[in-house]
Structure 1
Amino acid sequence: MTTELARRIAFTIGALFLFRLGTQIPVPGVAVHGGFAADRIAPLSIFSLSLFPYLTAAILVQLVAVVWRRLRALDRSGEAGRRKLARFTLILALLLAAFQAFGIASVMRQMPGLVVDPGDWFVLSATASLVGGVLVMIWLSEQITRRGIGNGLALMLSVSIVASLPSEVASFFTQLRRGAISGNALVGNASLLIVVVALIVFVESARRNVPVQFAARRVGEHLLPSCSTVLPIKINSAGYLLPATVAPWAISIPVVIAGVIFGSDDGSWVEAITANLEFGEKAHIILGSITIFTLAFVYTAFVVDPDHAAESLARQGGVIPGVTPGEATATYLDRVVSLTTAIGATYLAAISLIPEVFLAYGNALVYKMGGGAALIVVCTILDLQTQVREISLTNRGGVRR
């Protein structure tokens, strides 16, 4: 282990320790010594909102960039443009956090015995504490990304997921002892989790390598000889956060808005639609699959631009064997990306909806971790592995060994 790698790992561990410490600091004014809140201190901590407001803001900005060319150009205009985009994301995240924190604080003061002094001052202080907690977590995630190892946002989400696993495992064994579940269900859950993790590792590591031939060319005073290489295209170019995270919103938000506008009294059509779109219902599974599939294609179109790739190859003198440079190359790359995205979108939908499928057929105990959680944790570990390898093979000064 190099000194640089050890330093980065130590910094990451320290930052994650601070993150976990923050989840144990209660919101000011909460009666944590009372019976109601004593065993629920984590959900009422200053880090209660987690990084979801920031994640939501980042996803919304990326979705807008898909349809707004000017915003997309900022991301490709260099460091200054990316800083502007980061500022937009931060401002939106804080606005979302303030809205959510105010709602949580307003509900908390109405719960008897939870708040010491349920007045306006509590709502103001609790809102400020929750928003401040989001700001601290954003800062910590950025510090991990810059000075530590791995992606700070993904690491903190993964740590939150992994931290809940011991209680889930303990719950399984408690139910097993009581006879609430059978040993076969426990073995089935473990086997399914192993299969899912193996599938995630396989697909996230898979690439469709497009052969590229570069002619001899001069760069400055150097003459580069002709060479053959490949253009790797990920099977899952959409990543693991956006489709699985946005899909539930796309389903629930229209229903919530319809309930607010038309009412949701028992027997109304809104109530009937809401009942059929609950987690585990067949309509929710079908609509969720379609939404994830569509979002995977939309976001891949944002991160993988065949026209831009074709122009870059043409500028550098690269050609795909058997394909004419220019528009024909863009069309060929678009066809390859579409085929790989179809596979990746099917994989994302399957992984994300596995828990619902089991719930729909009466097996609510199987695979409690969830497909989205498994995606986040496994992909974070794969990213860590890649970065550790890169840092281990790089000397001080950025020169590879």
Structure 2
Amino acid sequence: MFQQYEYKILHKRILFTIFVLLIYILGSHVPIIPAQAMRHHDNGFYRLAVSNMGGDVSILNVFSLGLGPWLTAMLIISLWSYKNIEKSMRQTRAEKHFKEKFLTLALSVIQGVFVLNQFVYHSQLKQFNMLLLLLILIAGAMMMVWLADQNVRNGIAGPMPIVMLSIVRSIFNQQGPKLKIETYELIIVVVLIILALFTLLLIELVEYRTDYLDIMDISNNSTVNYLAWKINPGGSLSIMISLSVFFLLNSIVNLILKFTLGHPHHIRIFSFDHYIGISAYLLLQMILGYFLSRLLINTKQNTKKFLKNGNYFVDVRPGKETAAYLDKMARRVCWFGTLIVGVIIGIPLYSSLFIPHLSQQIYLAVQLIILVYIAINIADTFKTYLYFDKYQRFLKKYW
């Protein structure tokens, strides 16, 4: 059924994504150690970071590592190939996948060792075969990569539905907190959440447009040609990747201390319980978000298209001047969008430090913001497929 046409119409993609989610749900309910062997952390950093990567550390299961190693590997390879985009574009899909999978495997080993040492009691860990547990975690992470990759080809929005389901499950698994809050505090929190969601929706709908002229167009019509860029091209992917990288760095530092001191150690200043940890994460989010946005915009490719098609901007010469002009616009757009997302994520995280008794509700608000962000991106994917479905009869005839 899925290979009837070269292009996949929407309802078939939805069915395939549902099938992938069913496999993910099934694997998430296969524990590999008893629940009483787990060490539960009170801080919300690990819960927020792991759930936003499709993982779960409330109980160790097959898919506990989630998509974090894969997202981090994709970012590293993408930023490395940004130096020479033309060489990267000449690589075959098999070559790209080999690099991604090899690096994902290495990162899975690091994060698997960290999860076992950080979330399982040391006394309980001696009763199990640690290498076997590590092998199961790595195999589960690689299977999730395979599922996400299959969903990219045959389903909807690649890894986004898996992450979205993980966040929803994390929200419902949280115990209902006892609210001891004044009315004005509740009003302030609700207003801030509404403003954050409205701003998020606004930057997703707004485009930065720059008019250009076509040297081959000699008509006198009033059609305006413009180059359109989203304010935040990275979308929800930048948040997911920044959390994944921050979690990886946290894992490496804690593992170094564990093997140095001989017992598991948690560095509080590198988590969301300390302003240094939040500031470090926001700085990482803005840097990675900027470079990811620049990678997606790809001004070098736009410059070549303008030169090839005879398009130009007023008072800007083709070639190097056009490339410099596009780079200047891209820097302005990407930094603006990245800073806005940083403010949206940063305000609730810093608020959890000043209002500690509301930290659980604030972390819930952050998860809702990320959830809405992912939902917007998935909705855009639906719109794209619905647009192509309008030409279904034409595609059947000629494709």
TM-score by length of 1: 0.76
Would you say 1:234 and 2:230 are equivalent positions? yes
Which residue is 1:17 aligned to? Answer: 22
Match of 1:138 among 136, 145, 149: 145
Which residue is 2:299 aligned to? Answer: 306
Which residue is 1:220 aligned to? Answer: none
Gap change, CA 1:109 and 1:317, over 3 Å in 2: closer
Q: CA deviation at 1:161?
A: 0.4
Q: Where does structure 1 lack aligned partners over 5 or more consecutive residues? A: 218-222, 266-270
Would you say 1:359 and 2:339 are equivalent positions? no
Gap change, CA 1:346 and 1:153, over 3 Å in 2: same
Q: CA deviation at 1:15?
A: 1.5
Which residue is 1:268 aligned to? Answer: none
Q: Which amino acid aligns with 2:159?
A: L
Cα shift readout 1:229-262 (whole Å, capped 9, x = no counterpart): 2111221134433463367369757965985899
Which residue is 2:53 aligned to? Answer: none
Could you say what secondary structure the match of 2:340 adopts? helix
Could you say what secondary structure the match of 1:213 adopts? strand
Match of 2:374 among 377, 380, 393: 380
Gap change, CA 1:380 and 1:308, over 3 Å in 2: same
Could you say what secondary structure the match of 1:44 adopts? coil
Which residue is 2:163 aligned to? Answer: 157
Instruction: Decide whether the 8 Å contact of 1:8 with 1:147 is kept in 2.
Output: yes
Report the more deviating stretch, 242-251 or 138-147.
242-251
Partner Cα separation in structure 1 for residue 152 and residue 105 of structure 2? 20
Partner Cα separation in structure 2 for residue 128 and residue 258 of structure 1? 21
Partner Cα separation in structure 1 for residue 97 and residue 379 of structure 2? 26
Cα shift readout 1:118-139 (whole Å, capped 9, x = no counterpart): 25xx223322221221122112
Partner Cα separation in structure 1 for residue 57 and residue 257 of structure 2? 32
Could you say what secondary structure the match of 2:362 adopts? coil
Task: Select the structure of larger CA radius of gyration.
Answer: 1
Q: CA deviation at 1:156?
A: 0.7
Question: Within 5 A, what are the aligned runs for 1:69-148?
Answer: 69=84, 72-77=85-90, 80-105=91-116, 111-112=122-123, 114=124, 118-119=127-128, 122-148=129-155
Partner Cα separation in structure 1 for residue 162 and residue 253 of structure 2? 31
Q: Which amino acid aligns with 1:335?
A: K
Could you say what secondary structure the match of 1:240 adopts? helix
Instruction: Decide whether the 8 Å contact of 2:234 with 2:293 is kept in 1.
Output: yes
Gap change, CA 1:330 and 1:314, over 3 Å in 2: same
Q: Which amino acid aligns with 2:162?
A: M
Gap change, CA 1:255 and 1:147, over 3 Å in 2: closer
Partner Cα separation in structure 1 for residue 281 and residue 119 of structure 2? 32
Equivalent residues, number: 364
Which residue is 2:64 aligned to? Answer: 48
Gap change, CA 1:99 and 1:361, over 3 Å in 2: closer
Could you say what secondary structure the match of 1:294 adopts? helix
Instruction: Decide whether the 8 Å contact of 2:235 with 2:377 is kept in 1.
Output: no
Partner Cα separation in structure 2 for residue 146 and residue 262 of structure 1? 44
Instruction: Decide whether the 8 Å contact of 1:189 with 1:366 is kept in 2.
Output: no
Which residue is 2:199 aligned to? Answer: 199
Gap change, CA 1:104 and 1:257, over 3 Å in 2: closer
Q: Which amino acid aligns with 1:129?
A: I
Gap change, CA 1:288 and 1:25, over 3 Å in 2: closer
Could you say what secondary structure the match of 1:58 adopts? helix
Gap change, CA 1:331 and 1:43, over 3 Å in 2: same
Could you say what secondary structure the match of 1:216 adopts? coil
Which residue is 2:321 aligned to? Answer: 328
Gap change, CA 1:166 and 1:262, over 3 Å in 2: closer
Question: Within 5 A, what are the aligned runs for 1:50-65?
Answer: 50-65=66-81
Could you say what secondary structure the match of 2:127 adopts? coil
Gap change, CA 1:293 and 1:248, over 3 Å in 2: same
- RMSD over aligned Cα atoms: 3.8
Which residue is 2:246 aligned to? Answer: 248
TM-score by length of 2: 0.76
Q: Where does structure 2 lack aligned partners over 5 or more consecutive residues? A: 1-7, 41-55
Partner Cα separation in structure 2 for residue 98 and residue 264 of structure 1? 19
Partner Cα separation in structure 1 for residue 319 and residue 188 of structure 2? 52
Instruction: Decide whether the 8 Å contact of 2:71 with 2:244 is kept in 1.
Output: no
Partner Cα separation in structure 2 for residue 374 and residue 60 of structure 1? 27
Identity of aligned residues (%): 20
Partner Cα separation in structure 1 for residue 34 and residue 259 of structure 2? 36
Gap change, CA 1:100 and 1:246, over 3 Å in 2: closer
Question: Within 5 A, what are the aligned runs for 1:265-304?
Answer: 278-304=271-297
Partner Cα separation in structure 1 for residue 93 and residue 362 of structure 2? 39
Cα shift readout 1:56-115 (whole Å, capped 9, x = no counterpart): 21122223223x43xx434422xx534322221111112221343345456777644x57
